[in-house]
Structure 1
Amino acid sequence: MALTFALLATAFVFVCGANDGAALLALAVRHREVPPYAVLAVLLAAVAAGPALFGLTVARTFTDRLLDPTDRRGPLVVLAGVTASLLLVGVLTWRGVPTSITLAVLGGLAGAATGAGAHTAWDTLGGVLVIAAAAPLVGGLLGLLFGRLARRLPTTSRLPVVVRLAHLAAFSGQSLAYAANDGQKMFAVVGVGLASLHGTAGMRTPHWSVLVGLAGVFGAGALFSLRRMARGATFGLLPARPWRLVSAELASAVAVFGSAGVGTPVSMTQSMAAGLVGAGASQGVRRVRWQFALPVLVAWLVTLPASLLTGLVMGGLLRGVT
């Protein structure tokens, strides 16, 4: 059981890096004003420091609010639900289409718990989904606002320096927002694995050494998938312009940070794509390449029901052997 959970957690963190991390880096390196290793270091530092800086409130939504933390079958349900989400997200990531691993995990856990006959807090899931749906809308509106404000900035000889600093600040905020919210699904899976190793229910706070290792696996996944993600649909949404990209980074950071404040997991990739659309639309809706939005939208719409059904199957198999 412990070995299985260790392998699952490693694979899950790697896929999170390949989907979420690669999407964040692919946007950041399009600036070309800051070395790629610098933005990678910022992202990994934020991930490793996430629990110390922000606690595990969002992580506990997966383990304590959605499921029954006292159920001894909890680790097996998490095992089945996360496996279901990995199957789906792995296929989409391989095709270069970033989707919401958060939605996939929520659907997989709910489906696995239901299939296994365990408690599922459907009211909690419904509330989370409402906020998760609102976050991209907020990101899009903020991208539109920041894009319009950026157009009013005067052109001076110092503008390249200002853009570089704004990019670093925006990406740092985005990385911290990810660690405070979307990235906490990794802490939840690893924490449940640690609790299972110690024979307890619920989740345990990962030690700093575990978090450093987690950040390393996450970074490996991000680098592995970076080129494929950079060629994907999200980054064809609009031509790269420095202030548009900074506007999208700021918009997604604010939207995701705001959701973390109420302990609700939302998708950074969804908010980021919406921020890109909003930033592009600030110069006219024709600036957005809407044909690239379709595969992203389809991936989002498919993720939750597909992971829920897959989780039901996995939970049913779990019920049959326990």
Structure 2
Amino acid sequence: MPPELLVLSIVIIVALAFDFTNGFHDTGNAMATTIATGALSPKAAVTLSAVLNLVGAFLSVEVALTVTNAVVNIQDSTGAPRPELIADGGELLLMIILAGLVGAILWNLLTWLFGLPSSSSHALFGGLVGATMAGLGAGGVKWVGDGTKLDGVVGKVILPALLSPTIAILVAAVGTWLVFRITSRVADKYRESGFRWGQIGSASLVSLAHGTNDAQKTMGVITLALIATGHWTDLHGVPFWVKLACALAIALGTYIGGWRIIRTLGKGLVEITSPQGMAAEASSAAVILTSSQMGFALSTTHVATGSILGSGVGKPGAKVNWGVAGRMLLAWGITLPAAGLAGALMFWLGSLIGGLAGPLVVFAILLALSGWMYAHSRRTRVDSRNVNDEWVEDVTQRTLPTPTESKKAGSRR
């Protein structure tokens, strides 16, 4: 196998691995509240979410084209790919993409380990921006568009990151307040049972919306790698096999279920009820679908978390765990720079080693660190059996049940 084809294969494998981590990292965005209220069993919820993520991935390519065209400044003045990026079988661009993906996966796994619902999208963009700056300088990043529309990293990534959670909080808060206002004379048990059916429908819509936004980000990355090696030349299209592979990868990740993050969103942020859950999920779906149609590569995690916070603010007498919310906000704030730094370090390391050995060493580092984090996670397991256990704040296990609690949960099955 020619070296450039081997590196391309590694990049595609790592991209699909990122898509898989995106799936289990973001399952909670759609299903955390549904699981927390008992509207669906944990396994049924992740299965439904996986199927709808698979379907949603085929509904649009606007976000995929954003990733292909709005991060790395790949075009020259004629609109063709820049020669230095596709020279030598696309070696430079492939190294940038690989380094960016590794930075994103490592951040995804680290935040998953601590049960923090940070943004997979921002991890990806941070990793790509950091690797691009390391390889091409700041000018290699497409920061803004041509001035006639919102484009580039600022218009398609940063602005949606700032606006989307704020909008979601407001919409969910107003929706929750209206729900409880309108149903104030309905007995709690009837209100809960009635809204659980609505929750299933709204959670399904969020899963569909997640597929239309997040699966496409990996489609854009793989398409960028194919452009680098000359296997694809259309900057406004995505190969069908790429769509299929990415849809399957994110669906499988969603089915595995990111139980640590589901637990944080469902039990650690707000003690949520079915009306709140339905309001939160409906708000998330509306914001995500609108943004996907406009090509904004927003963070579905930010939107879903903002909606859950809004549902807590909008319910009279509800309590929000602001300590957990504060840790989430901290993770949000450092995701882009942390993933960017990791992407830059991976690029520098791969370039320093050079040749075929560079990408192989970076790939080996990814495997080693991922394996260590997975092994560490087994010390305090969170799964479908204990995801709904009572939330206990602890100095050493802030967002997770203790091993004793996990055993008790397992024995109850």
Kindly indicate whether residue 337 of structure 2 is the aligned counterpart of residue 305 of structure 1. Answer: yes
Which has the larger displacement, 160-169 or 196-205? Answer: 196-205
Aligned to 1:241: 273
Kindly indicate whether residue 169 of structure 2 is the aligned counterpart of residue 140 of structure 1. Answer: yes
Between 1 and 2, higher relative CO (CA 8 Å, sep ≥ 6) is seen in 1
User: SS state of the match for residue 122, structure 1?
Assistant: coil
Distance apart, 1:99 and its partner CA: 0.3
Q: How does 1:165-244 map to 2 (within 5 A)?
A: 165-192=197-224, 199-200=231-232, 204-207=238-241, 209-211=244-246, 213-220=248-255, 222-223=256-257, 225-226=258-259, 228-232=260-264, 235-244=267-276
Which among 10, 13, 22 is matched to residue 16 of structure 1? 22
Distance apart, 1:285 and its partner CA: 7.5
Check 1:285–1:190 CA distance in 2 against 1; reply closer, same or farther (3 A cut).
farther
CA distance in structure 2 between the partners assigned to 1:198 and 1:49 by the alignment: 29
Distance apart, 1:276 and its partner CA: 1.1
CA deviation profile, 1:86-115 (whole Å, cap 9, x unmatched): 112211111111100111111111111111
CA distance in structure 1 between the partners assigned to 2:100 and 2:247 by the alignment: 25
User: SS state of the match for residue 199, structure 1?
Assistant: coil
User: SS state of the match for residue 232, structure 1?
Assistant: helix
Gaps of 5+ in 1: none
User: SS state of the match for residue 182, structure 2?
Assistant: coil
CA distance in structure 2 between the partners assigned to 1:167 and 1:36 by the alignment: 14
Distance apart, 1:126 and its partner CA: 1.5
CA deviation profile, 1:120-174 (whole Å, cap 9, x unmatched): 1022112220122100000000110110111023327864553133112211221
CA distance in structure 1 between the partners assigned to 2:160 and 2:133 by the alignment: 23
Aligned to 2:142: 121
Structure 1 or 2, whichever has the larger Rg, is 2
Aligned to 1:105: 124
Aligned to 2:40: 34
CA distance in structure 2 between the partners assigned to 1:52 and 1:13 by the alignment: 15
Check 1:58–1:209 CA distance in 2 against 1; reply closer, same or farther (3 A cut).
closer
Kindly indicate whether residue 58 of structure 2 is the aligned counterpart of residue 58 of structure 1. Answer: no
Native 8 Å contact 1:13 1:217 kept in 2: no
Aligned to 1:131: 160
CA deviation profile, 1:165-197 (whole Å, cap 9, x unmatched): 311221122112212223322333344456678
CA deviation profile, 1:267-291 (whole Å, cap 9, x unmatched): 1111111111111111358621212
User: SS state of the match for residue 315, structure 1?
Assistant: helix
Native 8 Å contact 2:223 2:232 kept in 1: no
Which among 293, 297, 303 is matched to residue 265 of structure 1? 297
CA distance in structure 2 between the partners assigned to 1:308 and 1:13 by the alignment: 18
CA RMSD across the alignment: 2.6
Check 1:145–1:77 CA distance in 2 against 1; reply closer, same or farther (3 A cut).
same
Check 1:291–1:160 CA distance in 2 against 1; reply closer, same or farther (3 A cut).
closer
CA distance in structure 1 between the partners assigned to 2:17 and 2:57 by the alignment: 20
CA distance in structure 2 between the partners assigned to 1:216 and 1:178 by the alignment: 10
1:12 partner amino acid: F
Percent identity of the aligned residues? Answer: 24
Check 1:171–1:259 CA distance in 2 against 1; reply closer, same or farther (3 A cut).
same
Distance apart, 1:305 and its partner CA: 1.2
Aligned to 2:403: none
CA distance in structure 2 between the partners assigned to 1:42 and 1:218 by the alignment: 13
Distance apart, 1:79 and its partner CA: 1.1
Aligned to 1:25: 31
